[in-house]
């Protein structure tokens, strides 16, 4: 559905993001409002990012008198969808910070990495957002603003309410992780694979009754990837088998699903920085 929308209205992500209100974030929104300062609210928002509608990662860095928030979309999304989720997240974040800090908040920079869409009768993308001109073709997807704006006390600050909201966010996040911790499931499944079977994304996606793209996205949202989990599981198995000392290196390679000893040796070097034979000698 998003792909169809983007085909007709490129740049709509920013319009959608700017339409979000603080109330859309539920208990997290109340926690942000009740924080002591803008800096505290920002830290709370980044801590509980999975409770928002963002499909991007958000990195915060200080640059002299200014703060910068950098947004990165999931790699597996098509370019048009990457553009949409980035614009939506940046628009929503701009609106959220304005709602929390008050009407005086302004941006000093609004930079998008992708090129500007051709103008047309349906194009309604704002030229400026909170005082900053929307700049396309930049080095990053980033918002910037004066650091001093984060240091002002918030008008509705309430330590007791903020603490209560934080506890409720912790509980809510824990319940969601218990229900949706895809990375833990993938890790346990790969660890229990029969000897000689290599980890395959398609097989795990089929087991979860989902597509490979959706599985990748879920893992990315949890800060993981199938490749990283697979490598970690195989590395741990390799170290265990080497320590046991009952199998040759060729047999260990076959046990882990590698086609030959050379492929296993190269993979082990990437994992640990040394050849498996060196690990074997060290253990002996």
Residue 69, pLDDT score: 96
Answer with the one of 147, 177, 207 that is the final residue of a domain.
177
Same domain flag for 144 and 199: no
Same domain flag for 172 and 88: yes
Answer with the one of 157, 177, 197 that is the final residue of a domain.
177
Same domain flag for 137 and 150: yes
Taking the C-alpha atoms of residue 171 and residue 282, their distance in angstroms, rounded to an integer, is 45
Nearest Cα neighbor of 241 from 233, 229, 249 is: 249
Same domain flag for 112 and 253: no
Taking the C-alpha atoms of residue 262 and residue 268, their distance in angstroms, rounded to an integer, is 10
Same domain flag for 186 and 167: no
Same domain flag for 45 and 165: yes
Taking the C-alpha atoms of residue 156 and residue 9, their distance in angstroms, rounded to an integer, is 38
Question: If you average pLDDT over residues 120-149, what whole number do you get?
Answer: 86
Taking the C-alpha atoms of residue 103 and residue 84, their distance in angstroms, rounded to an integer, is 26
> What is the percent of the chain where pLDDT is above 90?
47
Same domain flag for 79 and 151: yes
Residue 187, pLDDT score: 85
Residue 174, pLDDT score: 78
Q: Higher pLDDT residue, 176 or 103?
A: 103
- From 132-141, 243-252, 273-282, the region with the lowest mean pLDDT: 273-282
Same domain flag for 209 and 166: no
- Global pTM reads 0.61
Is 80 exceeded by the pLDDT of residue 118? no
Is 80 exceeded by the pLDDT of residue 53? no
Taking the C-alpha atoms of residue 177 and residue 151, their distance in angstroms, rounded to an integer, is 33
Same domain flag for 141 and 126: yes
Same domain flag for 134 and 271: no
Number of domains the chain is built from: 2
Query: Which CATH number goes with the domain that contains 198?
Result: 1.10.10.60
Is 80 exceeded by the pLDDT of residue 9? no
Residue 122, pLDDT score: 47
Q: pLDDT tens for residues 190-205?
A: 887 788 888 899 988 8
Task: Kindly give the residue spans of alpha helices, DSSP state H, lying in 142-181.
Answer: 159-180
- Boundaries of domain holding 84: 2-177
Answer with the one of 148, 177, 206 that is the final residue of a domain.
177
> What is the percent of the chain where pLDDT is above 70?
89
Q: pLDDT tens for residues 225-251?
A: 999 999 998 998 888 888 888 889 999
Same domain flag for 153 and 190: no
Q: Are 215 and 201 in contact (CB under 8 A)?
A: yes
Same domain flag for 51 and 145: yes
């Amino acid at each position: 559905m998003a792909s169809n929308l983007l085909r007709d209205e490129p740049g709509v992500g920013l319009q959608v993001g700017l339409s979000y209100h603080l109330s859309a974030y539920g208990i997290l929104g109340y926690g942000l409002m009740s924080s002591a300062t803008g800096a505290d609210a920002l830290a709370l928002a980044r801590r509980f990012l999975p409770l928002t509608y963002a499909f991007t990662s958000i990195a915060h860095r200080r640059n002299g008198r200014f703060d910068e928030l950098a947004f990165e979309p999931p790699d597996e999304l098509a370019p048009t969808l990457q553009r949409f989720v980035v614009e939506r997240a940046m628009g929503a974040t701009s609106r959220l910070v304005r709602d929390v800090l008050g009407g005086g908040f302004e941006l000093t920079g609004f930079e998008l990495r992708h090129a500007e869409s051709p103008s047309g009768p349906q194009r309604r993308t704002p030229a400026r957002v909170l005082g900053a001109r929307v700049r396309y073709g930049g080095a990053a997807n980033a918002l910037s603003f004066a650091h001093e704006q984060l240091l002002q006390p918030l008008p509705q600050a309430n330590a007791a309410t903020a603490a209560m909201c934080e506890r409720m966010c912790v509980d809510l996040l824990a319940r969601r992780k218990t229900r949706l911790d895809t990375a833990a499931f993938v890790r346990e499944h790969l660890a229990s694979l029969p000897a000689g079977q290599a980890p395959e994304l398609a097989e795990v996606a089929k087991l979860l009754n989902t597509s490979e793209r959706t599985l990748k996205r879920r893992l990315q949202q949890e800060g993981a990837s199938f490749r990283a989990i697979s490598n970690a599981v195989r590395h741990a198995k390799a170290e265990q088998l080497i320590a046991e000392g009952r199998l040759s290196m060729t047999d260990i390679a076959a046990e882990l699903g590698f086609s030959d000893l050379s492929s296993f040796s190269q993979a082990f070097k990437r994992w640990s920085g040394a050849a498996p034979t060196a690990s074997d000698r060290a253990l002996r």
